[in-house]
Amino acid sequence: MTIDHIGAVLFPQYDFLRVIGRLSFPLYCYLIVLGVDSTRQIRNYFLRLFFFACVSQVPFYLALERSPFGSLNIFFTLAFGVLSTVNPVLMIASLGLSYFMNFDYGPYGIALIAAMRILKDHTRNGLIVVVLLNTIIAFESPIQPFSLLAVPLILLYKNGLPRVRQEGLDEGYRDQNTYPSWRKYFFYVYYPLHLTIIYAVKSLILTHSYL
């Protein structure tokens, strides 16, 4: 993600940075599915993501030179992606909202989270849906299908889950925190923080270029 944004803001002439960045979003989508499975408080999970979506919007549009509400950052996609896993009605509503509110990755982003839900439960069917989505999005964004390179990483992690759960973690698995809460919130904070730093670097470069 950081490499992707550095490429988009500071080095747009280097397409390979954007290609590397394609790996990040599918990983986030799969982590959203794992997050849904590991909490009984979907509402709180959604609200936490929505809060950071609001916090991140200013550095998002400053760093990427978007209009303040012309495009909404990826946290909005992830937040409503959580709702899309609850039931079909919320999934359709989230797809529509992502289109009309211009979420980052748009309906493709919401659909990919739903596809990762399928992938986690039914690997073969999930793979078919993920490949199909990336084939369709290729007509709009030829670089986006490179996100399929993240699928082997997801499958490696997915295959590793049963071994972890066999080591005495079956009981209370949904409620057990395996790492400190500060580490979890670090990744929430990192998104607006790294955009702010990129914006500051861009502003510094522009200032020096005018001197």
- Are the CB atoms for 36 and 168 separated by under 8 Å? no
**Structural domain count, the chain:** 1
Residues contacting 113, CB < 8 A, separation 6+: 29, 32, 33, 77, 78, 81, 82, 84, 85
Looking at the domain assignment, is residue 169 inside a domain? no
Taking CA atoms, 32 is separated from 36, 85, 110, 123, in Å, by 6, 9, 11, 17
Residue 211 tokens, joined: 């001197």
Predicted confidence at residue 205, as pLDDT, reads: 84
Residue scoring higher pLDDT (157 or 135): 135
Q: Which residue, chain included where needed, has tokens 């986030």? A: 28
Per-residue pLDDT for 169 more than 60? no
> How far, in Å, CA of 9 to CA of 13, rounded?
10
> Do the domain assignments include residue 88?
yes
- Residues 180-198: tens digit of each pLDDT: 666 678 889 999 999 999 9
Confirm whether 96 is domain-assigned: yes
Q: Decide if 53 is inside a domain.
A: yes
- Half-sphere CA count of 28, side-chain side, radius 13 A: 22
Give percent helix, percent strand, percent coil of the chain, each to the nearest 5.
Answer: 75, 0, 20
Half-sphere exposure (CA, 13 Å, Cβ side) for 121? 9
Q: What is the mean pLDDT of residues 63-81?
A: 91
Range of the domain at 111: 2-154+180-210
Burial label, 67 (beta-carbon count in 10 A; 0-12, 13-18, 19+) = exposed
Decide if 170 is inside a domain.
no
Could you tell me which residues come within 8 angstroms of residue 7 by beta carbon, excluding any fewer than 6 positions away? 14, 15, 16, 17, 18, 20, 21
Q: Is the pLDDT of residue 168 over 90?
A: no
Residue 103 pLDDT more than 70?
Answer: yes
Question: 3-class secondary structure for 11-70?
Answer: CCCCHHHHHHHCCHHHHHHHHHHHHHHCCCCHHHHHHHHHHHHHHHHHHHHHHCCCCCCC
Q: Average pLDDT, whole number, for the chain?
A: 87
